[in-house]
Structure 1
Amino acid sequence: MIEKIWTRIIECEGEIFTQKKGKEFSYSIKGNTLFLSTTNRSISKQVIEHALEFVPLEKKTPLQHLQAPSYLYGNLMDDRIRKHDW
């Protein structure tokens, strides 16, 4: 499933996403890494693959052990990324 989701993530590069609490962000991609616009953090494709084990999400708590959980939540729960998969 990661390849299908990663393709969607690439297609949405530069678009605005929203964290659960409403803060907006975007990202750029270099290689297999997302570079977030509003922080110095980045998210690897491997971290996203691990986060997919927890979708669908009602809150970000299951992602707390991963890098940038608020951004992961905002990205993975967005309709452009999840479509009808979860």
Structure 2
Amino acid sequence: MFRQEKISTGNPCPICRDEYLIFDYRNVDLLKQFISPFNGAILPTEKTGLCQHKHRELVVAIMKAKDYGLIKVDVPSREYEYSDYQKS
């Protein structure tokens, strides 16, 4: 929280406040706090209070965790009645 040897008086984001807290795709419990439980979307910066730099890191970490299968991804699927489409 020092900028050029001066104390920064701004309101830092929760991740920037703690220098030991970093976004990593293996830290699933931390990443799930920033995902909406209703639709699985990443919460916007207005709700989380993250700065833009850390929000970009969050998006990359969540996408990486989804790629590795650490976070469940709901893929919408549709079932068709094929008899409706066959020629009779």
TM (normalized to structure 2)?
0.29
Question: Greater strand percent: which structure?
Answer: 1
Whose radius of gyration is greater, 1 or 2?
Answer: 2
